[in-house]
Structure 1
Amino acid sequence: VIMEFSGKELIKGEPDASSFPSGGLRATFEARGYTAWDCTSPAFLREDAIGVTLCIPTAFCSYTGEALDKKTPLLKSMEAVDEQALRILRLFGNTTSKRVVPSVGAEQEYFLVDREKYLQRKDLIYAGRTLFGAMPPKGQELEDHYFGAIRERVAAYMKEVNEELWRLGVPAKTQHNEVAPAQHELAPIYEQVNVAVDHNQMVMETLKKVAGRHGLNCLLHEKPFAGVNGSGKHNNWSLTTEDGINLLNPGETPHENIQFLLVLSCILKAVDRHADLLRESAADVGNDHRLGANEAPPAIISVFIGEQLEDVVDQLCSTGEATHSKVGGTLKTGVKTLPDLFKDATDRNRTSPFAFTGNKFEFRMVGSSDSISSPNVVLNTIAAEAFKEAADILEKAEDFDTAVHDMIKEQLAAHRRIIFNGNGYADAWVEEAEMRGLPNIKSMVEAIPALTTEASVRMFEAFNVFTKAELESRVEIEYEAYSKAINIEARTMIDMAGKQIIPAAVKYATMLADSLSKVQTACPDADVSVQAELLTETSAYLSDMKVALANLTDVTEKCGIIENNKEQANAYHDIVVPAMEALRAPADKLEMMVDKELWPMPSYGDLIFEV
């Protein structure tokens, strides 16, 4: 059989739009949708068990024209920031640059566990994370995994991952251990943002596919193990012209770089104004377990700019003039055989959700399993809005130098509250942020409404990135996604508790009772207080589990019949999630007591230390 396809079929396809989450944009009986080739993202060949497949990066829209995908709004946001950033460059006399392109490097964190042990955990299979599990005697406190050698089994896996990615055209560059045991990270070379988004999807797929060949399973969930660090992906975002000018490069004397200071002040304004929207762009179910813990950025949006730039901002806000910039120095090691090292003008801050790191901003909130498209759509669009507002004023100014100087000073003063260079993990920061008026959005369900605020709708429609209907559809999809994920987790817990954990604990209790009875029969004067105490404690935890299991079963069923998506998501968050935690607590206590031979699943120690 000879099969052929034409160029037209490359450019346009017709998949089923009604089977795709649309948030009400498409009815079930309305099936037609269209794909369109994104020619700016390279097509590639993928070889797997079914043969060689030509893969074409595509956008996806409905028959009625609404975007159903994450690529279409991303491309529109790129056009928006390109147009407005060029206006800024023209103001400073740049007539040669033709495009401003957002570039991104997305660091990807992940866990590796032994596949045989993975298959013995229903929670990992169904939910992607452990829903039960007591901490092992050792966690990550020694940092010996982070700074230790990569195990040979993992190194062989990483080598094959790199080779697979290179074949696909994905420029994977570095890999290393991360903080938590069994946790690792991969970083690519910076690319144009839509290509970076496509490539990150391929990275996640490749990580999971190659793991199976090595008897491993790759976990991309943001928090697969309670009590140890979760996983994110750091979205390193910058703006670069096609002829190599980075708009976020401060140069050696930032206080004299007026173009950079204007761009910086615009971005600070954008982040401060749309902090809720930026937080929403990193919201997913798994990230609720990670954001705000002592491992990831807090749920409060702030910007780290470093000592050097903060000093420049202080000068501008206090005196109206910036006359100097802090410079790096020489770091003397004190060892004759080691060279003196160049010391940067500022330190880094790993607790900041949005940190300036030399010539880019690192958005550290994004979850490890999520697409990086949404945060970059928001970053591009909020930057475009701030650039437009600046250009609208400066293009009409009679005295440009004075006008731009005043604008920088005004914007920095107005949005200085968003700058925070301190410890984002400290409790004191939560109080200070509240005093500054910064939002602290702790969960996905609290974050979702930011998509359809008046300010968000007005901005997205002004730049043709989203229509109001498209935003409303995404709100519905996200509420529904949250409810479905929590429902799956709750039902998995119910299944594991009823069929595995409680029966195992009952067996253990029976063994204790038999032991108690036999010892008392054989030796009536023997001290059996240990067996009696263990039996009493086990029985108490079993009773707690039975009550918690009945409650979780009841509330899960009740929440499942709520028809309104927002009300249902809030009910799952407010009622089901606490009920899940109540069931987990006695189960984890029982794991620390029940004979390991009787416990029905691999422990945390088995999973994260035996890879």
Structure 2
Amino acid sequence: MMKEVSKTIPELYGSLVFNDKVMRERLPKDTYKALHKTIQNGTHLELDVANTVAAAMKEWAIEHGATHFTHWFQPMTGFTAEKHDSFISPVGGGQVIMEFSGKELIKGEPDASSFPSGGLRATFEARGYTAWDPTSPAFIKDGSLYIPTAFCSYNGEALDKKTPLLRSMEALNKEALKVLHLLGNTKVKKVDTTIGSEQEYFLVDKDLYKKRKDLLFCGRTLIGAPAPKGQEMEDHYFGVLKPKVAAYMHDLDEELWKLGVPVKTKHNEVAPAQHELAPVFDTANVAVDHNQLTMEMMKKIADSHHLACLLHEKPFEGVNGSGKHNNWSLVTDSGENLLDPGKTPAENTQFLVFLMAVIAAVDDYADLMRVSVASAGNDHRLGANEAPPAIVSIFLGDELTSVLKSIEEGTDFLKQKQILMEIGAKVLPHFAKDTTDRNRTSPFAFTGNKFEFRMPGSALSVAEPNVILNTAVAESLSRIYEVLKDVPEEQMEEQIQELLKSMITQHKRILFNGNGYTDEWVEEAKKRGLFNLKSLPDALPQFIAEKNIDLFIKHRIFTKEEIYSRYEIILENYSKTIHIESLTMQDMVKKDFTPALFAYVSDVTKEALDKRKLLPSLSASYEEKIVQTLTESSEQIVLALAALTEDTKKAEQMEEPLETARYYHDSILKDMDTLRASVDQAEAIIPGSYLPYPTYDELLFSLR
């Protein structure tokens, strides 16, 4: 059976992708070379080449059942967008032919008026452009040929998440090549950033999901008493997959493999009903496309299995939320990983230079790193003991920390001797123990030959954090190059050592190998001068700080107008998100919860009165206690609901974006927490048969 499966998977993988293998087979040699040159070097693609590619792409797509094509892009909504056009072209006599031109492949003109622009264009300026990204292969889904594209305004400003990512990749490539060539590694022609995005998610029964307004409108539960059992037994993590979940994961794997998404790992996560999927590394822009596609397919496949996939960072109170670890590295065109320390990291000059470039980048732009993961959903998990703290720091592990310390102090590095693990049972194999442990509390951790950024939330596009990381590292490499560019060859090694020593002294404050969850670390971080930006309204003003604007403009990632447009879009999205949550909560409490509460109080009261009527000496103390407790809760609910309603109306009248966002954070969320506490306390007493929505017990433990 295993042999049969292993034969079919290679055939399945990428079968719906217009990848390099398909292009090599279907394109004339000259056309393939021209397209390959564009993909590798970013050179301009001539229209005659595009026409030939389009014709081959159309024929291949039609053979695979496609009738339409769409430019697939990633606007500032955080989701993907698509407009489908058919291949048909009328030729008279009631006949049509199937056509697809190079112009249609390269450029699309969707209406941009209804997408967020942050003031970049007036509402009446409707035209926008989508431009083909040939470095991310086209694919077929639901009978359409999907062409990954960038999205810009009529005047050329970026209206999407992909354009800045591509710009940041070019900036990093440019600066990395300058430093590599300075170090003598002149054969390298290109440096790419690679990403592997670990995606966490929840699965719940679809019928139960449909009965919860909060899940439907907000993606998270706004009320709900905890189940008797949560994650405290730690029995779900890496546990046996339930049959329904296993079937879902199997189909998801297959559909993603067809689309060329290299998904590899799947398992149960720590919270009940929570799971994780992780792919193999890929080039940054392709990996971002793949992650967007993964989130789409997760929801689609869940629906076909009568499930609902929840990607919100905190769908359930009291259990762990979901994140998306962003594994990031630098790889040359020859396959060399620039963050691989090798067997002797203390002697690996090239590795140490790039390592320090990353450390300096994260220290200098820690505020931007925090901004890149800020959202209304992610604010619920950052800083709790389920995710990294909101304070950005770097974990290197004992060995690399010792290497840097020896450089700073000018002493010899004494490498730790490898230790064989002695597990105790003779039948078990011996293996070498790693020189350092992993630190799950660190926001930014070195994990062997890459950095793992653990702050992104599960619903986030990984474009944003990688734009910031790429650009910040490009700036660090630019500064390193400026220091070393005029140093004579015979003095280079000595100057590099001096530079590394200086950089370690300057940036070691960002290094922290301890427990990021403790109060002591918060105090220590404050002494070190590190940012502790606890919420989006706290963090986002840093996006428009002068040093950060200068960074973006220098490396041509954003214009000043694009920076401020994103600033406004993010603030507006934050306020809108909490506004919808507030209205949904008010609606649920008024229309769903309080009728259930009153019905139960009425029935318990009737029960007590019937007892007394039957036999006056019978005790009704239990019923009286329930009525008293729920009556007190209902009074608290009335007050809290009134406060939330009034404060939400105030928020609706506010105009200044940052002031509004802060009001939603400081007042509306506080009102919602107060209301929830009273509702949850009462819900814990009311039988489930009275409630018109499913409880946490059902949502988290119903799948078999």
TM-score, structure 2 normalization:
0.85
Aligned counterpart, 1:114: 205
Residue by residue over 1:220-253, the C-alpha shift from the partner in whole angstroms, topping out at 9 and shown as x without a partner, is 0000001101001100000000101111011111
Contact 1:115 1:217 (8 Å CA) reproduced: yes
Aligned counterpart, 1:45: 140
Separation in 2 of the partners of 1:471 and 1:320? Answer: 43
Aligned counterpart, 2:428: 338
Contact 2:688 2:694 (8 Å CA) reproduced: no
Gaps of 5+ in 1: none
Q: Aligned ranges for residues 492-511 of structure 1 at < 5 Å?
A: 492-511=584-603
Given the alignment, which residue of 303, 307, 321 partners 1:230?
321
Contact 1:328 1:346 (8 Å CA) reproduced: no
Contact 1:552 1:579 (8 Å CA) reproduced: yes
Residue by residue over 1:344-376, the C-alpha shift from the partner in whole angstroms, topping out at 9 and shown as x without a partner, is 111111110000000000000011001000000
Give the aligned residue type for 1:200.
Answer: N
Given the alignment, which residue of 338, 345, 348 partners 1:254?
345
Aligned counterpart, 1:388: 478
Residue by residue over 1:34-70, the C-alpha shift from the partner in whole angstroms, topping out at 9 and shown as x without a partner, is 11000000011112xxxx1000110011011110011
Structure 1 residue 271, shift from structure 2 partner: 0.5
Structure 1 residue 516, shift from structure 2 partner: 1.8
Aligned counterpart, 2:231: 140
Separation in 1 of the partners of 2:334 and 2:668? Answer: 53
SS in 2 for 1:138: coil
Residue by residue over 1:389-420, the C-alpha shift from the partner in whole angstroms, topping out at 9 and shown as x without a partner, is 00111111232111100010110111101000
Structure 1 residue 327, shift from structure 2 partner: 4.5
SS in 2 for 1:103: strand
SS in 1 for 2:249: helix
Contact 1:303 1:419 (8 Å CA) reproduced: yes
Residue by residue over 1:179-223, the C-alpha shift from the partner in whole angstroms, topping out at 9 and shown as x without a partner, is 001000001110000000000000000000000111100000000
Give the aligned residue type for 2:205.
Answer: D
Structure 1 residue 302, shift from structure 2 partner: 0.2
Describe the shift of the 1:143–1:419 C-alpha distance in structure 2 as closer, same or farther (beyond 3 A): same
Separation in 1 of the partners of 2:342 and 2:359? Answer: 19
Give the aligned residue type for 2:670.
Answer: P
1:267 pairs with 2:358: yes
Q: Aligned ranges for residues 113-262 of structure 1 at < 5 Å?
A: 113-262=204-353
Contact 1:291 1:297 (8 Å CA) reproduced: yes
Residue by residue over 1:418-476, the C-alpha shift from the partner in whole angstroms, topping out at 9 and shown as x without a partner, is 00011111121111111111111111111111211111110110010111110100000
1:546 pairs with 2:638: yes
TM-score, structure 1 normalization:
0.98
Contact 2:391 2:533 (8 Å CA) reproduced: yes
Separation in 1 of the partners of 2:687 and 2:477? Answer: 64
Aligned counterpart, 1:442: 534
Given the alignment, which residue of 96, 111, 114 partners 1:19?
114
Separation in 2 of the partners of 1:44 and 1:198? Answer: 11
1:64 pairs with 2:159: no
Q: Aligned ranges for residues 432-471 of structure 1 at < 5 Å?
A: 432-471=524-563
Structure 1 residue 80, shift from structure 2 partner: 0.6
1:86 pairs with 2:181: no
Residue by residue over 1:290-334, the C-alpha shift from the partner in whole angstroms, topping out at 9 and shown as x without a partner, is 1011110000000000011011122222x2244333343211111
Separation in 1 of the partners of 2:567 and 2:412? Answer: 44
Aligned counterpart, 1:324: 414
Separation in 2 of the partners of 1:159 and 1:369? Answer: 22
Aligned counterpart, 2:127: 32
Q: Aligned ranges for residues 472-487 of structure 1 at < 5 Å?
A: 472-487=564-579
Give the aligned residue type for 1:500.
Answer: D
1:8 pairs with 2:93: no
Q: How many residues end up aligned between the 2 structures?
A: 606
Aligned counterpart, 1:420: 512
Alignment RMSD? 1.0
Structure 1 residue 3, shift from structure 2 partner: 4.7
Aligned counterpart, 1:296: 387
Contact 2:402 2:413 (8 Å CA) reproduced: no
4+ residue segments displaced more than 3 Å: none
Contact 2:195 2:282 (8 Å CA) reproduced: yes
Separation in 2 of the partners of 1:418 and 1:509? Answer: 56
Task: Give the number of the structure with larger relative contact order, counting CA–CA contacts within 8 Å between residues 6 or more apart.
Answer: 1
Separation in 2 of the partners of 1:178 and 1:302? Answer: 25
SS in 2 for 1:57: strand
Q: Work out the percentage of aligned pairs sharing the same amino acid.
A: 54
Q: Which one is further off, 75-84 or 88-97? A: 88-97
1:306 pairs with 2:397: yes
Structure 1 residue 261, shift from structure 2 partner: 1.1
Structure 1 residue 2, shift from structure 2 partner: 3.6
Separation in 1 of the partners of 2:640 and 2:384? Answer: 26
Contact 1:255 1:322 (8 Å CA) reproduced: no
Contact 1:101 1:192 (8 Å CA) reproduced: yes
